[in-house]
Amino acid sequence: MAQLQQTTGLLHLPNETLIHTIELAIIGSSHAKSASEWLNNLSQTCSRLNKLACPYYFRSIDHDMFYSALRTANVTMMNRCEYYNAAPIDKLWSRRLFPSFQYRTSIDVLLSNVYEDCSRTNSTDSQIAITDRIRERVLDGLKWLLERGADAQHGIAEAQWEMSARADAPTL
């Protein structure tokens, strides 16, 4: 099948000009979310712009794509972020948790997916299967982070503290 020829004027510009335009759009935007959406749309217009805009898209909104991959234990997306140099494994993630900010490592964010329900007697087989699948994904994500040199000590201490806090919490 013959490939369609793209004849837009934007594609005839040199890469340096296109990259400068992309950077100006990001810096000049007062709304990070809309700039990120613009980058995503731009990256889907053609293969050349995809190669130029994708790294900026994956790093936009303070590496939000990698944060989302950690939150969902999505190793495939973590690999894509790494490919675009947008996987800061040693980053301290600050998220607004009222009444203050809370800082977490990548391992802490990943382990926040683990919810140990001690009373599995009320769980159905499908709920148990889903919980087991989530644990498998978290373990795969943890292995991915540790292979790339993530600091395990802080993350493990945080997980142990959260598990003990849940165990000590009164049941309703």
List per-residue pLDDT tens for the chain, 172 residues long: 555 555 566 667 777 877 777 777 666 666 667 777 877 777 777 777 778 888 888 888 888 899 999 999 999 999 999 999 999 998 888 876 656 677 888 998 888 877 544 445 566 777 777 778 888 999 999 999 999 998 877 655 555 555 555 555 554 4
User: What integer pLDDT is reported at residue 171 of this predicted model?
Assistant: 47
Any idea where the domains of the chain sit in the sequence? 89-172
| Angstrom distance (rounded) from CA 110 to CA 120 | 22
Nearest CA among 134, 68, 115 for reference residue 95: 68
Using only C-alpha atoms, the chain has a radius of gyration, in whole angstroms, of: 21
